[in-house]
Structure 1
């Protein structure tokens, strides 16, 4: 899916930003929202271009995932979420889009 590998969450965020993923997205139950623009994207309105997973070295519960997302509206950004036991509760459509 991608040729880029990152060792840390901050490296991933910086690298993706340099490659044009400049917006920050937040996860809601049935969509993602852009933090700087009044925009909600349903699963059919965006693509997950890359996924990067990170596990905390000192705490196995400290797991995160970074999604590089491009939208049908021309907006590109990142979504950072927990995974495992602390992952957000989302609709099956969102789960399929993000976990596929």
Structure 2
């Protein structure tokens, strides 16, 4: 459990950026992609430092999760995703790493 608690996704992203999580990651079926750096990280090349879940009580379909991610290459960034959006479209290794599905 993280020692950081946020009320909104924006609040989480702002604080994570201040703490050095500056890159933006996109989830691909077999990796995380960092378009700004033209880089792909396989499941064994990154770790999840923090996970922050946000649920909209009025619209459960609007739930999202923010991952704070670091890699052995020295970069830190975030991945923002809706709950379960990619559960069927990623490899089992990536699903396990992100604990989705």
Q: TM-score, normalised by structure 2?
A: 0.92
In the alignment, structure 2 segments of 5+ residues that lack a partner are none
Q: Distance in 2 between matches of 1:71 and 1:81?
A: 19
Match of 1:73 in 2: 73
Match of 2:52 in 1: 52
Give a deviation string over 1:43-64, Cα, whole Å, max 9, x none: 0000000000001233110010
Q: Give the total of aligned pairs.
A: 98
1:8 aligns with 2:29: no
1:99 aligns with 2:99: yes
- SS of structure 2 residue aligned to 1:81: strand
In the alignment, structure 1 segments of 5+ residues that lack a partner are none
Matches within 5 A, 1:21-40: 21-40=21-40
Q: Distance in 2 between matches of 1:94 and 1:27?
A: 9
User: Aligned-residue CA RMSD in angstroms?
Assistant: 1.2
Preserved contact between residue 20 and residue 77 of structure 1 (Cα < 8 Å): yes
Q: Which runs of 4+ in 1 moved over 3 A?
A: none
Q: Distance in 1 between matches of 2:81 and 2:97?
A: 14
Q: TM-score, normalised by structure 1?
A: 0.93
Preserved contact between residue 56 and residue 62 of structure 1 (Cα < 8 Å): yes
